Chains A and B, each alone.
Chain A
Amino acid sequence: MRHILRRREWVADEWRYLGEEPADAPGDAALIVPFAQWRAADQGWRGRAARLGVQLAPPDRVEELAPELPHLSLVAVEFPNPGDGRGYSQGRLLRERFGFTGELRAVGAGVRQDQVFLLARCGFDALELAAGEDREAALAALSRYDVAYQPGAPQVAIRRQRFFAPGVR
C-alpha cells in the first residue's frame, strides 16, 4: 500500500487515483480525479465517492478549479520533475487566494527530499515522495532550515522570519 508523508507522519494513503485498481476497501471512499476529466464530466463526479480530490497538472489554471474547491477534500499538485516550479505557485494560490483548507498534496517524480522544505513553505501538507526517496531523509529535510526570509505556510517550524505579509498572522 502507498504511504505518504502527511504533516510529518508516515501514513498509509487512503486515497485512490482514478484508474488505479480499487484498494482493499470496498467502493471508493476517497477518489482523486485529474482536473481535465473532472471538467469534462461536469457535475458527474460529485457523489461518486465519500471524499473527492482533483489532480492538477502544471499547465492547469488554479482559477478554473476555484469554484470546485468547496466540493473537494484534497488537491494533488503534480511535479513531473524537480525543475518544473509551476506547482509552487499553484499551491500558494490555492492556500492563500482561494483559502483551500483540505489536503494539499505534492505528487510526482519532482517530489524529492531536496524540494520538500520549499513545498511545505508553499502550503503543501502532504508529500507523496518520488520513487526511491528515503522517508527519514525527507522528514529530516523538512527541518533543514529554521529561518526564512519570506512569508510561508506554517508546515515547518521557522523560529525567525524577515518579511511578513499583511494578511497573515
Chain B
Amino acid sequence: MYRYDELDQALVDQRVAEFRDQTRRHLAGELSEEQFRPLRLRNGLYIQRHAPMLRIAIPYGLLSSTQLRKLAGLARRYDRGYGHFTTRQNLQLNWPQLADVPQILAELATVQMHAMQTSGNCVRNVTADHLAGIAPDEVDDPRPYCEIIRQWATLHPEFTYLPRKFKIAVTGSPEDRAASEVHDIGLHLQRDAHGQIGFTVLVGGGLGRAPVIGACIREFLPLPHLLSYLEAILRVYNRHGRRDNLNKARIKVLVKSLGAERFREQVEAEWRAGREHAALLPPEEIARVRACFAPPPYATLPDSDATAGREPAFQAWYCYNTRAHRVPGYRAVFVSLKAHGAVPGDMSAVQMEAVAALAERVSFGLVRTTHTQNLLLADVPQHELYTLWRELAQLKLAMPNIGTLTDMIACPGLDFCSLANASTIGVARDIQQRFDDLDYLYDLGEIEIKMSGCMNACGHHHVGHIGVLGVDKHGEEWYQISLGGSATGFTALGEVIGPSVPRAEVAGTIERIVETYRATRLDGERFIDTLRRLGLAPFRERAYAAHPAAA
C-alpha cells in the first residue's frame, strides 16, 4: 500500500495543527458556527442528530492492520465502541465530542490517516474497485492512480471551494465494481493499441435528487495527462457550475444544461490552453507510486479444493463469501458486516481488532473496505480458509450472504443522520428477519437491495435491483420502492413502482416482489434478468396486491 513520505506526513500534521487552531477559535467564540462550518466539513466533521459525526477517509478503501487497530482504539475511546463503514469506503464515528476531534485527527496522522475532504464542497475520497490488484479481469491496478488523484486533490488551491461536493471513482476492470458511472467523474482504465495506459473519462454521473449516468467525454486519455485533464474539468465546473441553488450545483446539472458535447468542447479547450500550467505527471512519480502497490510476496501454492470433505455451512460460506484470485492457491474473503440482526456496515472495536490480527496472519496485514459496506481480506491462502471461517464465525463476521438479498446497502438513516427523512436500520432489521432462511435466500440468488433514508441517496437506492427510499409523509416514515437499478455490469437507474408504503409493509412488499420473480423466472435466470425480460408490470401488480393501506 502507499506509504507517506515526508511531504505527505508534513501536510497531514500541518492540517491537524490548522484544525486544532480553528476548533479553538470556534470554541472561544472567535469563529461563529456559520464560519466554522465549511472548515469543519473539510475535516470530515458534521454536526448530526445526536452529536458530531466524524467521517474518516479510507483512500480507495485500503487499510493496514495497524490503521484498523487505530480505528478500533478511536472508536473505543472517543465513540461508543463501534464505527460505521460507508458506501464511499470511509468510516464514520457517530459520537465524538467536538473538542476531542483535533486529538482524534492527530492520532490518525500517526498512522498516516486523515479526515480531510470527506465532506464539504470539494473533491472527496477517491474510490476504487475493492478487488483492485487481484481481479482476474483487470487491465491495470487502479489504486496508484487513485493515490495520485488523492494527492493532487488534497488542499488544491483552486478547487477547495467548488459549487458542490465532487466524487471521483476509478476502475481497472471491464466489470465496474466501483459504481463509477454514477460519480462526478468515472475513470475506466484502458490500454491502447500500443499497450499504453490511459482512461476513458465519464463526467456528470450522480445519484441524489436527480440521478444521472455519466457521459463519456473522452475515449482515451493518456496517463501522463491525467491531472491536467482533471484540472480542466474541475476548472470548467468551478467557473460555470451553478451556485445559486444547492440542488442544482452538482456537475451533472452543468453537463446536462450544456449538453455533453458542448461540455466536452469546453473541457478540451480549457485543457489545451491550460496544460502548461497544470500539474504534470512524470514517469518517475508514476513509478514511485505504482511500486507501493506491487503484489505482496505470494507463496507458490497449489490450487486445491478447499471445500472437499468440509461441512455444508463452510461450503456455503466459501461459495458466497469468497472470490476468485488471480494467483493460484489464493482467495479473496469477504468479512460480512451484514449479519442478520446487525446494522449494515457497523463494526465493533473488538471485531476491528480481531480482523486486524487475522489480516496480519493470513492476508499480508491489509484489509479493504467495499462500497457494499463489507470488509475484504484480499489475499488469503486457500489452506487457511477453513480456520479463518471458524474465527470469523465466532466474531459474527461470517454470515454467508454476500451478494444475496440481505447483503443490503443502507445509509445510517434517521437514527443518526440529520438529513434523513426516515430510518433505515429498523427496516433493514425487518428485511433480515423476513429473509432469515438461508436456503430461501440462496434460492433467490443474486439480488441487491439498496436503501437510503433521504433523497441524497447515500444508500445508492437508484442503482439497487430493489431500491428503498425513505420519505416523510406528514411526520410518518414511508418508503418508496424502485426496481431495475444496477451499478454492476452495466449501470441502470431503477424505476419507482408506485405509491410509497408504510414502514411495516416494506419487508412484505419486497417478499411479494421476489415471489413474483420465483414464479416467473426461467431456469437459472437472475432476478435482475427476469425484471429486464418481463418489465415492471407483473412485479408492480403483485407488490401492491396485499395492502390497501398504500397511498
Contact = CB atoms under 8 A, between A and B. Distances in A.
Contacts of B10: 146-147, 160
A144 B14 contact: yes
Interface in B259-286: 273-281, 285
Contacts of B227: 163
Given A86-B239, A89-B238, A144-B17, A166 B276 contact: yes
B39 interface: yes
Contact of A149 (B151, B161, B239, B277): B151
Interface string B151-178: 1101111111111000000000000000
Given A97-B273, A118-B157, A148-B155, A162 B18 contact: no
B355 to A, nearest CB: 32
A165 B158 contact: no
B277 A97 contact: yes
Interface stretch (A3-11, A26-34, A37-45, A77-85): A77-85
Given A84-B161, A118-B155, A150-B152, A165 B14 contact: no
Given A151-B277, A152-B157, A88 B238 contact: yes
Nearest to A123: B157
A129 B162 CA distance: 21
Using C-beta atoms within 8 Å of the partner chain, give the interface range for chain B: 35 or more
Which of B6, B18, B161, B280 counts the most A-chain CB atoms under 10 A from its CB? B161
A103 interface: no
Given A97-B274, A166-B275, A86 B152 contact: no
B433 interface: no
A4 to B, nearest CB: 20
Contacts of A92: 157-158, 277
B50 interface: no
B7 interface: yes
A112 B30 CA distance: 12
A165 B10 CA distance: 22
Given A114-B22, A163-B285, A83 B14 contact: no
Contacts of B285: 162-163
A89 B158 contact: yes
B277 A147 contact: no
B14 A88 contact: no
B39 A114 contact: yes
Interface of A: 58, 82-86, 88-89, 92, 96-97, 112, 114, 117-119, 121-122, 144-152, 160-168
Interface of B: 6-7, 10-11, 14-15, 17-18, 22, 35, 38-39, 121, 151-152, 154-163, 227, 235, 238-239, 243, 273-281, 285
Closest 7 pairs between A and B when the two form their complex, measured CB to CB: A85-B161, A167-B276, A121-B157, A163-B279, A96-B277, A88-B158, A118-B157
